[in-house]
Structure 1
């Protein structure tokens, strides 16, 4: 992905904007029409099948429910915040580091950027944040009461519909997003209804054929007579739209009878029920919501339907009700802290009903940056300001393009985002839970060559305790889960009862990491066990060789707090990659861990 050079011309052309008329849409009259957005947008990362977790934070629980047609449910987030196209419309966004961020990407499937403009094109920052995590992004086509003339123009003929569809698909391909939410909220003339059905059907088929993983959603609004009547279910009056699109987002004032009716229609149509996305307005219109959303979500998932969350930025916007000023142009620590606490609490309450998408691509790296910060940190130290960078290095920034891969589950009351220090980016994890391990990343890393290298950057004063990262792994036959405790031990303990305690590689052998292409420049091995460098941050590298293929399933942490502790542990970055054990040439005293997992006495 190419980065903007920071010039005013570049940033202005990369600013996202809405389309307000059919003339503008068909003529492709946009400020950024000559910009190759593919150079600035992260490609959509591939995903593998998600899993359901029981207690999402419990590292020592091996409960994982595989997903199939019998239990598959999906989640759409419809981001509708104060009209949108706020500071997030800019490529570099702003210095308002406390602005709203969505970062629980592992639990959702689709992200819709919503505004009340005619054609809403998602900004670059949201595209990059979502795509890094494999989440598909939708723009919005909306015709409300003031847009009826626009819709009449579209539906005047099938030829016009074809032109509009081709133009909308061109937008997807130019701006690198995956599809559309179609939201018609104005009365349609009865004689135009066939062309409206045709619009949805042709947009779906064209997006399918021309856009990678393309998708089109219809919003429950218009019925077969052309009247605007939200049904809050799928029934005979709107089922044709359901059949025409990939999925239907159902209005949020549904009831239990709505669920029953939709089940009947899906069974009669032999349609997958997960294509029906029942809406939950997080502000609470029509349903029990806010911090009680879990009650409403449970009713949806019990019937095997998917879910659409309207306006999850409720966790940010409603801070104003408690005396917080969310409109300060440079941000505010109290706003940032309060939002992050509320946001973690909200998503943590829902997670047992959401499917978690594991990370599977190697090499894996995260520094926990949320795409914002009070400063930019590089290797543990803040970088000096760069004038004219528009929210770039060395100063306060809000730029979602700079977000890192995020924890797979909410970490409410386990760890918090810490903005006064970081190893790389704008923040790190400050550990709140001690003396009990917890999960941070859910993974499905298949290591065929029987070896791995793992590194992490952490900060911890010796008086405050000890810190481990923990890898849960299993053998190729998935016989039993085992755990690697990657801390600071005197020597490697043999794998017994599924646990192995490993010491970091000795710094004098770090040059062998580079010669074997096992390290990463993002976690410099020179910052080893000394706390006198990198502002107190330290780096540990581990090399582990097995006698066969393994699968890494989780990355977790364990902070053992001492009785004399005055602070806690901080995790700044993690890195994992595969290594070929046949090419390793480390001396015996280097602390490389040699572990037999396929022997007869395994796990005795």
Structure 2
């Protein structure tokens, strides 16, 4: 965004809480922090946010001026020294590799060492850096010319062979796609190693809110996509009169960016693969890494009543765009800097795509929520979709709300919150209203199954009367698997009678 290394470069960042934040990690395989510096080391905030979501990060090695690359390619020894230095940077700062972007003409005499550099960097990164990857940007050809090919072909395929993949320049057409596929087939390589570029600013191809057309072509042919400059959703707000340079941030800028960003990602989402969350325990307070204030248990945290921007504080984010279902709400939060404000009261909607394997044990679900205004007739459910591990065609929906005991219907179960105490080790969210901010409530639920199951979706259903103006906020979600032996030991603390869900598994 804007060349990068802005306020995001600081460890504690800034008070500019409306600045560009990335939240759609579940669609991303690799995140590249790009700048026009010679060696770009991703800042700690971006590394922490990406890694929390399981996404590898690559920095950028870019050469745009004459002379500098000549030093690297002068001898085999200088190549090895540079590879050693770049690999050590990955290990020291904790990122996974490099995008190599050579944007200068390379003398023919240096081409063998340029190939050597890419090969050695790839091998060293792969062997010494966990999940290490090196990608080549389509720029220089086999003759050393700076001539973007916009495709994979015989002129740049040697770099493709020596790296983990190639990021193709964004000025491609259908012919480039066809020839790239043919070249990949010759290499006996899967197409997903070819990342076809999309520039969100619309250089060469349609971008902005028309990006779906290009993304659809990429997906239809089976290639991966390399999305350039998604910061477009923030940077272009100045075209509409928003002041995106205010160092303290502005509420209007923040709201406009979040809405614009969600809308853009929602449009291209059908072309993307969604990676599920797979590890328990699972917890999120929805903080995007910024806020007008910092909250703890629904109260402003002591000494934290000022704006902050710090991506290291970003919590796990929804797996799908929130567009028209909910918004990140900065007026108050249960924890962190924001909560989710529900905007869709007509139907249930998904928040998280999950792949939680639950063996013989008990599923614990907890969440914090708040109803603003007259709550009469307003019901809030957290939905959990469960399938037997032996039969994914069968599914069961748990409605975690406020019901009378446990009510069962075909393929559905309706649960009431626990009133009993939980062991201290499992109290991620405090329930005592005396310790919570006004209006916040915390609920816990237990569900026991008769065999191994898989939790595959978590969503929300909020109902209110047609004339109601009440609004619902979701402040945190917590999911954990409790071992049966722990429950037996703590039976006096967690009585399961009337709280069990026994799910029949048919062959």
1:95 to 12, 15, 19: 15
| 2:423 corresponding residue in structure 1 | 514
- Residue aligned with 2:196, SS: strand
Which residue in the other structure is 1:349 paired with? 267
After superposition, residues 407-446 of structure 1 pair within 5 angstroms as 407-446=318-357
User: For the aligned residues, what is the CA RMSD?
Assistant: 1.6
Partner Cα distance (2:3, 2:495) in 1: 61
Match of 1:335 in 2: 253
Pairs within 5 Å for 1:105-254 = 105-144=25-64, 147-254=65-172
1:514, CA displacement in angstroms? 1.4
For the 8 Å contact 1:178–1:214, the answer to whether it is kept is yes
Change (3 A) 1:519 1:588: closer
Establish whether residue 406 from structure 1 lines up as the match of residue 309 from structure 2: no
Report the CA distance between 1:518 and its aligned residue. 2.9
Q: Give the distance between the partners of 1:307 and 1:577, measured in 2 at CA.
A: 34
Per-residue Cα deviation, 1:168-211 (whole angstroms, up to 9, x for no partner)? 00100000000000000001000100000110000000000000
Inter-partner Cα distance in structure 2 for 1:322 and 1:350: 23
Aligned pair count reads 501
Contact 1:505 1:591 in 2 (8 A): no
Task: Tell me the distance in 1 between the aligned counterparts of 2:375 and 2:38.
Answer: 58
SS in 2 for 1:151: helix
Whether the aligned pair in 1 keeps the contact of 2:464 and 2:470 (CA below 8 Å) is no
Alpha-carbon offset, residue 590 of structure 1? 7.0
C-alpha distance in structure 1 between counterparts of 2:493 and 2:201, whole Å: 61
The yes-or-no answer on 1:492 pairing with 2:401 is no
Mapped contact 1:504–1:591 kept (Cα < 8 A): no
The CA deviation string for residues 282-341 of structure 1, in whole angstroms up to 9 with x for no partner, is 000011111111110011111100000000000000000000000000000000000000
Return closer, same or farther for 1:177/1:533 CA change in 2, 3 Å cut-off: closer
For 1:157 and 1:113, locate their aligned partners in 2 and report how far apart those are by CA, in whole Å: 29
Alignment of 1:314-393 (within 5 A): 314-385=232-303, 393=304
Contact 1:464/1:567 (<8 A) preserved: no
1:33 is matched with: none
Are the structure 2 counterparts of residues 132 and 588 from structure 1 closer, same or farther at C-alpha, using a change threshold of 3 Å?
closer
2:394 aligned to which of 480, 489, 505? 480
Task: State the match for 2:501 in structure 1.
Answer: 595
In the aligned structure 1, how far is the partner of 2:388 from the partner of 2:20? 41
Structure 1 CA distance, aligned partners of 2:49 and 2:481?
Answer: 25
Which residue number in structure 2 is paired with residue 301 of structure 1? 219
**Contact 2:201 2:208 (8 Å CA) reproduced:** yes
Distance in structure 2 (CA, Å) of the matches to 1:143 and 1:497: 62
Aligned to 1:449: 360
Deviations along 1:480-509, one digit per CA (max 9) or x if unpaired, are 010000000111013x31100000001xx2
Instruction: Please give the per-residue CA displacement for 1:342-386, whole angstroms capped at 9, x wherever unaligned.
Output: 00000011111111111111110000000000000000011132x
The Cα of 1:583 is off from its aligned counterpart by 3.9
1:525 to 420, 426, 431: 431
Instruction: Name which of 465, 468, 477 aligns with 2:381.
Output: 468
> 1:594 aligns to what SS in structure 2?
coil
Stretches of structure 1 that go unaligned for 5 or more consecutive residues are: 1-80, 386-392
Counterparts of 2:186 and 2:467, CA distance in 1: 66
Cα separation, 2, equivalents of 1:233 and 1:324 = 38
Q: Supply the distance in 1 between the matched residues of 2:338 and 2:121 (Cα, whole angstroms).
A: 41
Matched, 1:568 2:454: no
> Which aligned segments of 4 or more residues in structure 1 are displaced greater than 6 angstroms?
587-591
Asked if the contact 2:375/2:470 (under 8 Å) is kept, the reply is no
Structure-1-length-normalised TM-score: 0.81
1:265 paired residue number: 183
**Paired position in structure 2 for 1:73:** none
Structure 2 residue matching 1:369: 3-state secondary structure: coil
